């Protein structure tokens, strides 16, 4: 099975929860700003996402005033 087909941990952690807390923002407000459903953001926040569009990643980073590396970090080290 190739890594893309593996259902195990991806080795990437999404720090969305921490960034939202630091900024005093709710998932619902981020959803409104970014145009992504709360359900999809929750999947990302809980490290269950299998993929993310660059446009979504960019919109989240813009709304949170952060860099991609602030949002997504390696979890396997």
Give pLDDT tens digits along the chain (77 positions): 445 555 556 789 999 999 999 999 999 999 999 999 999 999 999 999 999 999 999 999 999 999 999 999 998 75
Q: Treating both helix axes as pointing N-terminal to C-terminal, what angle do 27-34 and 38-45 enclose, rounded to 10 degrees?
A: 120
**pLDDT of 77:** 56
pTM (2 d.p.): 0.84
Rounding to the nearest 10 degrees, give the CA dihedral for residues 41, 12, 68, 37. -10
Tell how far CA 5 is from the center of its chain: 20
Element (H, E) at 27: helix 27-34
């Amino acid at each position: 099975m190739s890594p893309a087909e593996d259902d195990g941990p991806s080795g990437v952690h999404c720090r969305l929860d921490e960034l939202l807390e630091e900024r005093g923002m709710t998932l619902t407000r981020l959803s409104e700003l970014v145009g992504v459903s709360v359900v999809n953001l929750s999947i990302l926040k809980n490290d269950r996402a299998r993929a993310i569009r660059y446009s979504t990643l960019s919109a989240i980073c813009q709304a949170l005033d952060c860099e991609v590396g602030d949002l997504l970090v390696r979890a396997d080290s």
